[in-house]
Amino acid sequence: MTRTLFNLEGLSGSENPVHKQWQDLSVELDAADSSEKVVNLTGSDAPTAEKCLVPLLKEMRWQGNDRLLFEAMPHFDRLETFQDLRAVLTRLNVKTEKYASKAGELTPAQLPCLRVTNDDVQVIVSRAEDGGLRAYSGRESAAIALRDKDIGKDELYLAYEEDQEQSQVEGNRSWFSAVSKRFRGSIVAILGLGFILNLLALGPPLFIMAIYDKAMGAKSTNVLLTMAVGIAIIVLCEIALRRTKNWAQSYLGGRIDAIVGNKTFERIIHLPYSMLSEAPIGTQVMRLRYFDSVRDIFQSSLLNAIVDIPFTLIFITAIFLIGGPVAYPPLALLAIYALMAVYVLPKVQREVAAVGEQKSKLNSFMIETLRNQRALRNLSVEETWLNRFSTMSATFNKLNVHARNITHVLQIVSQTLMTVCGVLVLGIGALQVMIGEMSMGALIATMAMCWRVLNPMNQAFLSITQLAQSRTVIDQINNLMKVPLEREPGHLPKITRDIQGDLKISSLVLRYPGATEAALKGVDLTVKQGELLAITGPSGSGKTALFQAMIGLFQPQVGSILFDGLDVRQLDTAEWRSSIGYAPDDLDFFYGTVKQNLLLADPGAADERLYEVCDQLGLLSYLEDNFEGLETRLNGEILKQIPENMRQRIVLARAFVKTVPLYLFDNPGTHLDFEGDEKFKEMVRSLQGKSTIIINTQRPSHMKLADRVVVFRSGQIAMMGEPDKVIPVLMGQTAKAS
């Protein structure tokens, strides 16, 4: 039985169908507090395209959750256009493509689909008994009936979920080539325009030849006027076509740049954290900048030269037909350029790679310097740091100068070859004129054609450095697309689970990348659902490493972490992390309001929940008295004014906002004052028995809250037991050490 998305038989005027659709969908997705989400996604003020998002997903029986839906939405903007809607659907792994046939040929398997008109976006759901179509109109916010004849051929778009396995297979091929194939039409159009422009470029040389050989010989102004009108038409057509070609290249470059930029950034944020933590920040920034240079490939003179080079054969053929052997020098030069490019390109590519690597090191050094300004001044090592910078800068400049020298040598060689070729063409042409094989007009025309042939050759050869850089960028992009990710963006977990909170860690061994000694050495630990566990130990004993392994930042080499009997490596990473309320030791925030920072933990949290948590932590009154409440924008200046104990409370609030089965608190009392610590303990007590809580702490007051205390030393569990038994031992060891 087909599930009906709307009540097409009749809706009461007081009932808002959009609100009801969202509420129904929220129930199916087990979403909480759907009323807040209704306002955000399908309110009466929502754009037409945005109103169709939820109905389409519901009718497709989309298996995602509310968090994935909110993450796919733009951060600030609304879905104003159909293209905005398509972008969100793509992030949800739903592909849309234009339907080429008539509406009457739609099959049930192709429904639901989308219809786009000048002022409306509609979701076509099913066929009615009378053969018409049932649909939902975003403009009317109501169900409507359509007839096949009312729907234009280019108005329909099919929507379907992309096969995950197929997309992963395609990821193993040349990703950049696959993206380029999506723009075959634009590429063919650019090549076609290039072909026509090259044909039109034959006009001026032939016009010159006709003037010399025909008009001047016949002394006929009528012939001259006719030819002038013809060449004027050719010039005007060439101007129009060049503008069209430039626009097509700009469009192609912009679209591919947007796709590459979004996809590479998407891949980077889904890479395993262990891979990102190894690479210096400067190197990562340089790679992102390299990816941005993809646009230049399609908008630079290099592309014009590449497009024109195949058509140089047209001019060489024309030269051969007019002047015979005059065509040999350009043909020979084309072969010489090709051989030189094959020889020089690998060397230039190595030089470009060396310059890029040194530039990355220099950027990393600069970032390190800016981040550690206070430490540099405290240690009074400015001169040492300046010497290091001078050495690295000198190395970079040396490599850069060497690469530029190669470019200058190529320019000299290319200009020399062009000059020699031009002289040979002139010499051979003059001999042909002397023996009567060519006219003077033909000689001038062949010279003009010769320079038209040589210019794209020269431009392509001089752009060999840019070509090498482009190849490097494309190779890096393809390699990035082949790297295994923590999870495929937009792919939904195949099984949704109701997680309770039982945790079992067995024989866990974790060694950080590049480290010689393991941070965790055979850790065995069982935590029951609702239990409160406190872990403690000296610095570097493995407490934070345990948290990082639990949330999946680093994969253990040996052992397993079971959550409700399931190995967390078998769970979807996003699903697993969304089931954890984690408060790290670092006081890191993102630019934006306090509310936006809290919503990063749970995008669907209602305002009431945010205010409740902040009030319980004593944070709300402080922000309202001193700043703008939860709308306080956390920039560098404001963060300097907020004391560390309040920043710590924001971090804790970010964890408490989530209603989850597992909470992890890494040194929550480090920056808390007495009042803040008491409020934190009150919130922990309120969750005790409901959720599993693990606290990494040095405070006895936190340990006394726990059901058990676990003591770590050198990556192993040294002691475990009830607080009243473990705390006296720890206090005795501390007193003895003192």
User: What's the pLDDT at 678?
Assistant: 93
Confirm if 647 and 639 have CB atoms less than 8 A apart. Answer: yes
For the segment 219-237, the average pLDDT, to the nearest whole number, is 84
Closest CA to 247 of 200, 293, 297, 299: 299
Mean pLDDT of 426-443: 88
pLDDT bin (cut points 50, 70, 90) of residue 31 is very low
> The tokens of 17 are what?
């169908």
Q: What sign does the dihedral 537-540-543-546 (CA atoms) show?
A: negative
Residue 696's pLDDT is 94
Q: Is the pLDDT of residue 32 over 50?
A: no
Looking at residue 693, the DSSP 8-state letter turns out to be E
More confident residue, 70 or 75: 70
Q: Give the pLDDT band of residue 35 (cuts 50, 70, 90).
A: very low
Q: How far apart are CA 550 and CA 537, in angstroms?
A: 18
Confidence of residue 37 (pLDDT cuts 50, 70, 90): very low
With 90 as the cut, is the pLDDT of residue 352 above it? no
Name the percent of the chain lying above pLDDT 90: 23
Q: How confident is the model at residue 292 (pLDDT cuts 50, 70, 90)?
A: low
> What's the rounded mean pLDDT across residues 669-695?
92
The amino acid present at 281, given as its one-letter code, is I
Which tens digit of pLDDT belongs to each residue from 124-168?
998 888 888 989 998 888 888 888 888 887 789 999 887 654 444
pLDDT (0 to 100) of residue 11: 34
C-alpha span between 90 and 76 (Å, rounded): 18
> What phi and psi values does residue 658 have, to the nearest 5 degrees?
-80, 140
Sign, CA torsion 211/214/217/219? negative
Whole-number pLDDT of residue 18: 36
Residue that has been written with the tokens 């359509």 in this structure: 146
Query: 277: Cβ–Cβ under 8 A, 6 or more apart, which residues?
Result: 513
pLDDT at position 493 over 80: no
Q: Tell me the percentage of the chain whose pLDDT exceeds 70.
A: 86
Residue with the two structure tokens 């889904």: 270
Mean pLDDT of 484-502: 70
Name 220's Cβ contacts closer than 8 Å, sequence gap at least 6.
none
> Residue 252: is its pLDDT beyond 80?
yes
Q: What is the pLDDT of residue 70?
A: 78
- Per-residue pLDDT averaged across 427-440, rounded? 88
What pLDDT sits at residue 490? 63
List, in sequence order, every residue forming a beta bridge with 161; answer none if it has no partner. 94
Measured CA angle at 205 (ends 204, 207), to 5 deg? 60
User: Could you tell me the domains of the chain?
Assistant: 17-162 (3.90.70.10), 175-339+425-480 (1.20.1560.10), 508-737 (3.40.50.300)
Q: Which residue has the higher pLDDT, 190 or 18?
A: 190
Q: Compute the residue count for the chain.
A: 738
State whether the Cα torsion 668-672-677-683 is positive or negative: negative
**Whether pLDDT at 4 is above 60:** no
Average pLDDT, the chain: 82
- Helices 203-210 and 221-269 meet at what angle, rounded to 10? 170
